[in-house]
Amino acid sequence: MSRPGDYALLVALAFAAFMTCLDNTIVNVALPRIQQDLQLDLPGLEWVAAAYPLTFAALLLTGGRSADVWGRRPTLLTGLGLFTAASLLCSLADSGTALISCRGLQGVGAALLIPASLAVLTRDLGPRARAAGVATWMGALAAALALGPVIGGLVSQHWGWSWIFAINVPFGVLAMATVAWAVPGGGDSGAQAAERAGGRPAGFWNGRFDPAGVALSSVAAGGCAYGLIEGPRHGFVSPGIMWAFAGSLCALGLFLVRQWTACTPMVDLSLFRDRVFSGGVAAQVLWGLGINGVFFFTALFLQRGLGFTPTEAGLTFSPVALFLILATPLTAVLVRRFGAHRTSAGGLLAVAAGLLLLARVGEGANLVDLLPGLIAIGAGSAVTVPLTAKTLDTASGTSSGIVSGVVSAAREFSGLLGIALVGAVVGRHQAEAVRRGLDPAAAFLEGYRAGLLVAAVLVTVGAVVAGLALRPGP
């Protein structure tokens, strides 16, 4: 580490990343208790789970731009404050409406927090600390993904569901105090740097922030997220879902036109001319399409097909986080030996191999049968850290926030889209198997295997993209 405060800052950012990702998974196991206590119907229960990722995904680009306009530290502190306060309100909610509203507010805080934390990693850590920071940040995300169901099951079973939100409060306060101490400057933003150089005063509505771009990107992201979340329940060809996707596409088209024509665009589309940036984002989307869909349906397979309890199913994912942490220190050695492009591509190929190993698992399997695939997925994901690091390194001093926002939005939407895409494959093959006379458990297993194969293909394509995008230039 190059500065004494780097250690504390890494811990604070890791806590922040862990909390926001944890909220995507910790609630699922507690939903039956929430439904019983708040007397929710099924649509209301689904919105308890969906309100957070919906607002989170819809506002990520806005959060990234805020980090560039307001400054990284103010945006990060605001996001942490909103997320922590909303978590406290969630724990005190006594109705479904109140809980859904507070979950949405959590998503707003997370949308500010995540791009700003990545921008801090990119701009405020020393060169030696930066790679460790990205690895620590991604390790925290993986740990939250794997441990969320376990923590949710244990806490809701022994303490009550409100505590799955209340535990965020002390960590959030600690993270805010550490960020206020460790992040240098009073809010070193690109806008403020321009002001110091003699430009117009930095501000939110003075032309440096694009309100039309904010509205259009939020409508585009929100409509797409709504369609992906509600599509499985209503049908992707139902009128409401089709209108949501159509509105999202129209808003996206208008957003792109706005970015080309605006004097101060929210997203500088010239970023995508950079081979490393555009290829890195594409490779991470392909990784997310495979991994997130598989994690979702593996949790169902463990409980429906193998009879695991929710807590046992959550514990089954712990080898992924464990081997991601164990393999992370090897990444720097591999990059020095083989280069970032070969290292990242090799990691993605290892993930694809892990998915294929899981596809061989049949009825009556146990943890020993699942372990090789889970280890390959965890270790392979650790080796893809240079992919994120190189993508973030393309940011300049005035674009670190929006680059982080694009990377975060790509990851979040690849998760939503991955669940929908793999779910469509699983559902189609499951329905065909039922028509052939298989029982529901065997039919689900057949669909699950087909989904794993599709996910493995997507991740393999991501490996090719990473190898080409990150190769050294002339």
Q: Output the DSSP codes for 166-191.
A: HTHHHHHHHHHHHHHHHS-SS---HH
**Cα 471 to Cα 276: distance, rounded to the nearest angstrom:** 8
Pick from 181, 23, 210: which is nearest to 114 by CA? 23
CA distances from 45 to 31, 34, 48, 165 (A): 7, 8, 5, 16
Place of tokens 């957003």: 255
Rounded Cα distance between 469 and 135, Å, is 20
Q: Which residue is listed with tokens 């993270």? A: 175
Helix, coil or strand: residue 173:
helix
Residue-level pLDDT at 464: 95
Give, in degrees to the nearest 5, the angle at Cα 456 between 453 and 459.
155
* Burial status of residue 444 (CB atoms within 10 A of its CB: 0-12, 13-18, 19 or more): buried
Name the residue with tokens 């594409």: 282
Nearest to 116 by CA among 57, 189, 44: 189
Say what the pLDDT of residue 204 is: 42
| pLDDT of 109 | 93
Q: Exposed (0-12), middle (13-18) or buried (19+): which is 98, by Cβ within 10 Å?
A: middle
Rounded-to-integer distance, Cα 272 and Cα 252, Å: 16
| CB 266, CB 213: distance < 8 Å | yes
Query: Which residues neighbour 322 within 8 Å (Cβ) at sequence distance 6 or greater?
Result: 378
3-state SS assignment for residue 262:
coil
Residue 397: the pLDDT is 56
| Of the candidates 257, 16, 29, 264, the residue with the CA atom closest to the CA atom of residue 141 | 16
Give the chain's length: 474
Q: Could you identify the residue written with the tokens 């057949």?
A: 446
Q: pLDDT of the chain along its 474 residues, tens only?
A: 455 556 777 777 887 888 888 877 777 667 777 888 888 876 677 678 778 877 887 788 788 878 877 888 888 899 999 999 999 999 999 888 899 999 999 999 998 988 888 778 777 666 666 666 777 777 777 677 667 767 777 777 778 888 988 988 988 888 888 888 777 654 444 444 444 444 444 444 444 566 777 788 778 877 887 787 677 677 778 888 899 999 999 998 998 888 888 776 777 777 788 888 888 889 988 988 888 777 767 777 887 778 777 667 767 777 887 887 788 778 888 888 888 889 999 999 999 999 999 888 877 777 788 889 989 988 898 888 788 778 877 766 556 667 777 887 777 777 777 777 777 788 788 888 888 888 887 888 888 889 899 999 999 999 999 999 888 765
Cα–Cα distance measured from residue 347 to residue 332, given in angstroms and rounded to the nearest whole number: 13
Residue 103's pLDDT is 92
* Cα–Cα dist 129/121, whole Å: 9
From residue 396, alpha-carbon distances to 60, 115, 173, 267, 403 in Å are: 19, 15, 30, 13, 9
Cα distances (angstroms) measured from residue 392 to each of 61, 69, 131, 134: 15, 18, 11, 9
Tokens 């980090």, residue? 67
The per-residue b/e assignment along 141-172, b for 16 or more CB within 10 angstroms, e otherwise, is bbbbbbbbbbbbbbbbeeeebbebbbbbbebb
User: 0.85 cut: is pTM over it?
Assistant: no
Which residue is listed with tokens 């070193």?
A: 188
Burial of 18-45, coded b for 16+ CB within 10 Å and e otherwise, reads bbbbbbbbbbbbbbebbbebbebeeebb
- Long-range CB contact pairs, 220-223, < 8 A, 24+: 220/248, 220/249, 220/251, 220/252, 220/255, 221/57, 221/58, 221/59, 221/60, 221/61, 221/248, 221/409, 221/413, 222/54, 222/55, 222/57, 222/58, 222/248, 223/247, 223/248, 223/251
CA distance 452 to 458: 10
DSSP 8-state symbol, 172: H
Residue 269 carries which DSSP code? G
Place of tokens 């994690």: 295
Q: What pLDDT, on the 0 to 100 scale, is given for residue 372?
A: 92
Q: Give the long-range contacts of residues 260-263, CB within 8 A, separation 24 or more.
A: 262/210, 262/212, 262/213, 263/207
